[in-house]
Each structure stands twice: as structure tokens, then as C-alpha cells.
Amino acid sequence: MRDDAITRGGYADAVVAAVLGLAAPGAHRRPLLVGLSGLQGSGKSTLAAQLVAAARHRRIEALALSLDDFYLGRGARLRLARDVHPLLATRGVPGTHDVDLLLDTLDALRAARPDRPARIPSFDKGRDTRLPPSRWRRVAARPDLLILEGWCVGVPPQPPSALRRPLNCLERDHDHDARWRGWVNAQLSLSYVPLWRRLDRLVMLQAPGYDVVKRWRDEQEQALRARKAPRAMSPAALRRFLMYYERLSRQALRTLPAIADLRIVLGPDRRVRCLVAQRPS
């Protein structure tokens, strides 16, 4: 499954080599920050862990962060649902992360040392809330390489004209006036784009199209359902859940190939077809 797709055949080491070839960590007075963007089910978490291992094999201290660990807790999202739009009760879209906490974490990692360790938040998806700070991971030394993985990392906002027509039945039935998608798009522009500008390099796990994401993501849920995990979603619940992500997932597929410094091109079986590096002008 996911670990077959990326790690077999040394792709993780090849990705690290390509990233380092674009900009070596030693050239920076701060950690090299690499964004790893990929749609749901594409294997981001697996690849991020393999990149850390491959970097450490090269004696480069590396650390992976997940955008998911910076979700707002359920209470904060319910307040957004009350004050802005009911669809914001569901985590996932821009505006449902604590971007300030993420920026503070990046700054803390940049200055980490034994007497002032950085702390890495962790989000419990089963309880739908962030773990208390006492349970956060401590990092006592500044890493050379930081990998920030997430489904919408690097994605630019859409033009307002693109928001007018609903994309699926969730938008049609629950966001008929485009208030939710307009607010999400504004958050992407105001809070997330400044974060994307901090990225030294952007790596994209490029799916062959949006429709395959439904199957990839359902493979994850099948594993949860087989274990009778409490948070496993039925196929119908998953279809509805993915509608929250569809608009910006399609935006990612349209825009990131021209933006990414490195593309990992995947086939429908989630196996790597090729790596495409693009040096910045």
C-alpha cells in the first residue's frame, strides 16, 4: 500500500538528494524548510518519515511536521461554526488550523537548544482535539532539515470568480451563497500564503487526477474499518467528507505542477512514475 508506493527502490533517498541538490542545508543559517504537498491518501506521512530517515543516513538532522497536528480543536471550530459558517465545524480546510502556533513552532525549532527546547504539538484525531502541551514532543537541537507535510501545503487561493458556482452537492446544499468557500479562500490568502512563502522548497506528490483520490483515501478507511476503529468512516460518510476538500484539491492539481520545485509523479496504483525537478529561475 502506501509504503510500497514511495519508498521501494530508493525514491526517498532520491528525493532527499534532489532537494539537497537544489539547496544544501549547510548554506542556510536556519533549518531548510521543505513543504511536502499531496492530496489525501497519496502517502505524505509515509514519505515524510522516509525522507527523515534518508536525511539522517546522510548525517543531516531532519524532522517532519504534519499540518494536521495544528488543527484547531473541536471547541474552537464550533465557535467558528457559530460565528462564521456551520461547515467550519469539520476540520480540514484553511481556517481550521492554528497557523500562528505553526509559525511559533517553526521559530522555536530555529532556536532550539538543550536549555530551551522546542515543543511539537500533536493532534488526537480520535478525540478531535490537540493533546495538552505536557504531552508534546521536545526537540533540544535545531534540525538542519524540516519537512512540513499537508494536503494543501503550497496551494494558492482561487480568484473570486471561481467561487461563484458550487462544485459539489455539499457546496450546493450547504453553501449556496458561497460564504463558506469565500471565507476559506480568504484565510488561505491572508494566513497560509505568508506561511508558504517561508518554504525554501516545495515537493509535490502528484496524483494522476482527483477521482483516484477517492479510492486511495478509502483504502485507509478500509484498514480502519477492518480494525473496527471508532473513527472509521463508511463509504458514504467518506464521500461527503471529501467534498470539503474537493475544491482546493482540484486547485492543487491545477496550480502546483508549475510551482513545485520537485514533482513526484504517481500513477493510479500510487507507484512513482518519475521525479521531475525544476530549478527556480
Distance CA 19, CA 146 (A): 12
Domain-by-domain residue ranges, the chain?
2-266
Write down the residue that cell numbers 484547531 correspond to. 72
Predicted TM-score (pTM) of the model is 0.89
Under CATH, which number does the domain 2-266 receive?
A: 3.40.50.300
Residue 140 contacts by C-beta under 8 Å, 6 or more apart in sequence? 112, 113, 114, 117
Tell me how far CA of residue 205 lies from CA of 103, 237, 246, in angstroms: 23, 25, 16
Per-residue pLDDT of the chain (281 residues; tens, 9 = 90+): 333 344 444 677 777 777 776 554 445 567 899 999 999 888 899 899 989 988 888 889 999 999 999 999 999 999 999 999 999 999 999 999 999 999 999 999 999 999 999 999 999 988 899 999 999 999 999 999 999 999 999 999 999 999 999 999 999 999 999 999 999 999 999 999 999 999 999 999 999 999 898 888 777 777 766 676 666 777 788 888 899 999 999 999 999 999 999 999 999 888 888 888 886 54
**DSSP letters along 7-27, please?**
HTTSHHHHHHHHHHHHS-GGG
